A and B are shown apart, each in its own frame.
Chain A
């Protein structure tokens, strides 16, 4: 009887180890941990205006697929922009506000102020990657929008100046990183017990098994 008990407990431990540690570890060797998606552009905005005050909105929408639930991934988004402007006289302020919206949630706002600039033939910027919070993501098709809000005005309201503005959004980049939030070296995408460190779980099982073994062993 004691033998049976010991066999049962050892087998149970071995099976659980296989299920929550060994199989996931073996499976994740073939899993791509980081993947990059470039959403093809460029998205171009080009306008000439001469009003003392000018407002415009320009929006671009792109979509991409997430194969795993957002809780198993860290998703980063970034983009770049080429900007040119020319104005006949100094005294114009142009504010370009980029708002990044993921599935209807605003996730980022970037503001570029061009102050008194009469001529910029080439300003190229690549913004840092920024994490999109998981509530703004979903498994499957995700929609990412970049809303560009342009406000341009003369510092002296009695003045006006013909102005040319060019904005090209390039390289919308989505980076997905498989994460291991419970620090057990098993990626959450393959972790059968997410949120709990699998080795802690095994240790707990071992402790309980030893205790049960002692307890029942004495009684049998």
Chain B
């Protein structure tokens, strides 16, 4: 403490004589902190404060990276034990048309597709504006090449969590037939593919069981319109399986109407034919077909 006072005296630093925080300190300490000219000390302190404030005033730089990825319920503390990344063709949108029929709907609509994957429900959302119609049993899927990331987190008490999520989009899209070998049925629809060296995740988008039957015995086209209000789901809970390198998990795909108006889509069924229809999910909007006659 004497050294401090000695230093102050020899450097001729003006110190304050009494300082409130020094009241409860020992006499020596009080003396050491005992300045004589409060104003200069204050000035120095304020200049130092200003020096601290100014560097913190920096322009906000860089671009916001909004992938809207949420990793729910992380436990603290955790450490990343292993991870893997892989580009996968990622389903954004699909349209199924009946054999002897076609579809039409709202053009250039805004959608959000959401992927909830793994036991801890990692969620990723992609937004896009698109519209696609097809005809005569030709079923089309639209996919974007996305970088998927797998993370395995642990902590010292032995619990662990795994996450699968979309880390990055590439703006590379593929529009691909997914109807398999026959346009008469969606039973053999392709549920995964490889293109340009990249795999897709798998998706359950084929006809399995009849939820509805349409026998169009009248000599006219039969239009059936489905719709989703603003913000509602168009498709919910389509089963998907995401495999990043060797780490695999199942999850769900859903599609939301991201516009402020009602989305509509019409299936048009040709006269004198019959179809079995499988609702691909609980919303009864996205259908897969099998031609009966």
Which residues of A does B touch, CB under 8 Å? 80, 90, 108-128, 131, 133, 181-183, 194-197, 200-201, 203-204, 207-208, 210-212, 214-215, 217-218
Contacts and interface: CB of A to CB of B under 8 A. Distances in A.
B46 A122 contact: no
Contacts of B250: none
Contact of A112 (B47, B108, B131, B173): B173
A215 B39 contact: yes
Given A120-B175, A125-B108, A204-B53, A113 B195 contact: yes
Interface string B219-261: 0000000000000000000000000000000000000000000
B57 A200 contact: yes
Interface stretch (B19-27, B134-142, B148-156, B159-167): B134-142
A217 B174 CA distance: 75
A116 B60 CA distance: 46
A164 to B, nearest CB: 16
A127 B63 CA distance: 18
B101 to A, nearest CB: 13
A114 B175 contact: yes
Contact of B195 (A115, A125, A207): A115
B93 to A, nearest CB: 10
Interface string B12-44: 000000000000000000000000001110110
Contacts of A197: 57
Nearest to B108: A124
B54 interface: yes
Contacts of A200: 53-54, 56-57
- Give the contact-size bracket for chain B: 35 or more
Nearest to A110: B171
A111 B130 contact: no
Please give me the 9 A-B residue pairs with the lowest Cβ-Cβ distance, nearest first. A126-B129, A211-B43, A124-B108, A113-B174, A207-B46, A111-B172, A214-B39, A124-B131, A211-B46
A210 B50 CA distance: 13
The secondary structure that dominates the A interface is: mixed
Contacts of A115: 174-177, 195
Nearest to B38: A214
A5 to B, nearest CB: 13
Nearest to A90: B177
Given A117-B175, A214-B43, A203 B53 contact: yes
B216 interface: no
Contact of A111 (B63, B127, B171): B171
Nearest to B127: A128
Kindly name the residue among A118, A128, A195, A200 whose own CB sees the greatest number of chain B CB atoms within 10 A: A128
Contacts of A127: 128-129, 171
Contacts of A210: 46
A208 B46 CA distance: 7
B15 to A, nearest CB: 15
A181 B39 CA distance: 36
B132 A207 contact: no
Contacts of A112: 173, 175
B59 interface: yes
Nearest to A111: B172
Nearest to B66: A128
A115 B129 CA distance: 20
Interface centre among A120, A197, A201, A211 (most CB of B within 10 A): A211
B81 interface: no
Nearest to A212: B43
B195 A181 contact: no
Nearest to A207: B46
B188 to A, nearest CB: 15
Given A121-B135, A122-B133, A181-B59, A208 B171 contact: no
